[in-house]
Amino acid sequence: MTAKAETACVPRHVAVIMDGNGRWAKRRMQPRIFGHRAGAESLRAILKACREAGVEYLTVYAFSTENWVRPKDEVSGLMALLKTFLKKDEHELHENQVRLRVTGRIQDLPKAVRAELDRVMEATKNYTKGHLILALSYGGRTEIVDAVRAIAAKVRAGEIDPAKIDEAAIASHLYLPDVPDPDLMIRTSGELRLSNFLLWELSYAEFYFTDVLWPDFREPDFAKALAEYARRCRRYGAPS
């Protein structure tokens, strides 16, 4: 049974904190990058599950602003894995007309990685059947700070009246203002926190936590998350 068959209420946008790669590798007495490679297989599986279930947007927390402090060999391995993923899976994006986008400070990434991202994003920019968004060098607080700085610059230039700054104004200055907020946030590995992920955008999302480590997270696990989402009543502050 597919995820689509199991739930009648499908989120338009799913965000995922792909956690547990390091622990998965450690349990197998392997280096952390081994877990990240296995995690890439889960991403491929869940992207396919999104297509089958009718989820339009999938945002994954691939590399945070805090991740830059990790050992250099792990960071280098992650950047190499990202390039490999883009080259190996670009044909899947084209075949399924999925658009690739990035949220975060892409300018912080190595030049070769940026070039590969730019190339694939340009090649898929007109696709509308699905959207894969990679959060890279991303931090929720950093995103809000960058938005505030952009607004402050416009106020100083006389382009914005400070009295008219509202939630819509702030949202329009986030990294991807045209992308709808996530309806469902999934975090794997049993951790119960946001870890600075999409702090503004997740304000009204449903949260789903699972003990499954990301490299083991596959279509049946995703279907459980969608089924749980379908059971919840989303009132957005209205009375029940």
Sheet holding 130-138, edge to edge: 98-103, 130-138, 57-64, 13-17, 184-187, 206-209
Residue 6: its pLDDT value, please? 45
Residue 155: its pLDDT value, please? 97
State the pTM of this model.
0.92
Total domains, the chain: 1
Residue 22, pLDDT > 70, answer yes
Q: Summarize pLDDT for 114-163 with one digit per residue, the tens.
A: 999 999 999 999 999 999 999 999 999 999 999 999 999 999 999 999 99
In a domain, 58, yes or no: yes
Residues with a catalytic annotation lie at: 19, 67
Sequential DSSP letters for 11-50: -SEEEEE---HHHHHHHTT--HHHHHHHHHHHHHHHHHHH
Under the banding of pLDDT at 50, 70 and 90, the label for residue 3 is: very low
In a domain, 201, yes or no: yes
Residue 2: its pLDDT value, please? 46
In a domain, 203, yes or no: yes
In a domain, 199, yes or no: yes
Determine the structural domain holding residue 55 and report its residue range: 9-139+182-231
Residue 7: its pLDDT value, please? 43
Which residues are registered as beta bridge partners of 47?
none
Residue 8: its pLDDT value, please? 55
Residue 236, pLDDT > 90, answer no
Q: Summarize pLDDT for 169-193 with one digit per residue, the tens.
A: 999 999 999 999 999 999 999 999 9
Supply the CATH number for residue 67's domain.
Answer: 3.40.1180.10
Mean pLDDT, residues 206-228: 97
